[in-house]
Structure 1
Amino acid sequence: MDYRKDGARHIYERNSHRIYKGQLPPLMHAVGVLQVEVDNRGQVRNVSWMRAPSHVPDVMREIERTVRAAAPFPAPVRMGGVTYTDVWLWDKSGNFQLDTLTEGQRSK
């Protein structure tokens, strides 16, 4: 089972009004790689940056808040918890896509 897709779909469902529609522009406001640890009940146990968009700390805080606010995630009961990673593609409008479900980027 690919929990990354489950996690991405869950975040999209909870934030449908904030998902960037269509292909993203060639230059992103922020790109970050976030690892999310989910316990067997779907609660977020921890979030940690593997590649932080540290030039925009407000975006980092908003991504972390968005992930925590989306709990509970689908419960990975059989696995007893899961840690997954996704790439956040953040537009200057404040809308985003996750690499797992992205519609791609326009060329220049």
Structure 2
Amino acid sequence: MMTSTRTYALVLSALVAVLAGCTSTKSGAPAEASASSSEEKTVGEAAPGRSDVAEVRLITAQTPAVRAYRKIGSGAIYKAYPTRIHKGKIPPLVYAVVVVETDIDATGKVVNVGFSRTPSHAPEVPPMIAELIQKASPLPSPGRLGAHTYVDTWLWDKSGSFQLDSRTLGQRSR
């Protein structure tokens, strides 16, 4: 019965993340600097000596500061790879859509790159994205926002060019 409850909590947390499209933070990393700074709570923490239960990160609100940093972070990636940016609107059937969670410290240094959505038909894409992000490190300092997880969706074309959701020009109808 406990496994069922933990599975439900995990699924519910994942559903909230997908529907909200919000930034998430890992335990120990401060949530964004906002007027209501509450301590982060986790669901399904593993009991001592048990590694079969994953820790689930609760999603934090998309504050104006978090949304603004998405533009700043994606701008730094665009600046690092100007020839890789897909010009114009994305084709109707983009090759891969990857939701990337980039943990950065208070100076903008990339600490970790994780994925909350990866394409099963294109397993080669997420490692390429992780490498691009690591090479672009450090990203601009998040300022008062501090260390957090920068989340963006990469729209990847078969040619290897890409756009980030925070800066996309949209999608062609044909």
Q: Please report the TM-score for the alignment, with normalisation by the length of structure 2.
A: 0.60
Give 1:77 shift. 3.4
Trace 1:1-108 onto structure 2 (pairs within 5 A). Answer: 1=65, 2-108=68-174
| Separation of aligned partners in 1, 2:138 and 2:97 | 25
Task: Return the letter of the residue paired with 1:35.
Answer: E
Give 1:32 shift. 0.7
> Is contact 1:54–1:60 with CA below 8 Å preserved after alignment?
no
Task: Return the letter of the residue paired with 1:24.
Answer: I
Give 1:46 shift. 1.2
Q: Which runs of 5+ in 2 are unaligned?
A: 1-64
Q: Name the Cα RMSD after superposition.
A: 1.0
Pick 1 or 2: higher relative contact order, CA cutoff 8 A, min separation 6.
1
| Separation of aligned partners in 2, 1:54 and 1:78 | 37
Identity %: 49
Give 1:49 shift. 0.7
Structure 2 SS opposite 1:57: coil
The structure 1 segments of at least 4 consecutive aligned residues displaced by more than 3 Å after TM superposition are none
Deviations 1:52-107 (A, max 9, x none): 12321211111010111100111123233121211100011110000000011100
> Is contact 1:26–1:105 with CA below 8 Å preserved after alignment?
yes
| Separation of aligned partners in 1, 2:118 and 2:85 | 20
Structure 2 SS opposite 1:68: helix
Structure 2 SS opposite 1:85: strand
| Separation of aligned partners in 1, 2:103 and 2:83 | 25
| Separation of aligned partners in 1, 2:87 and 2:102 | 24
In terms of fraction of residues, the more strand-rich structure is: 1
Task: Return the letter of the residue paired with 2:120.
Answer: S
Task: Return the letter of the residue paired with 2:73.
Answer: G
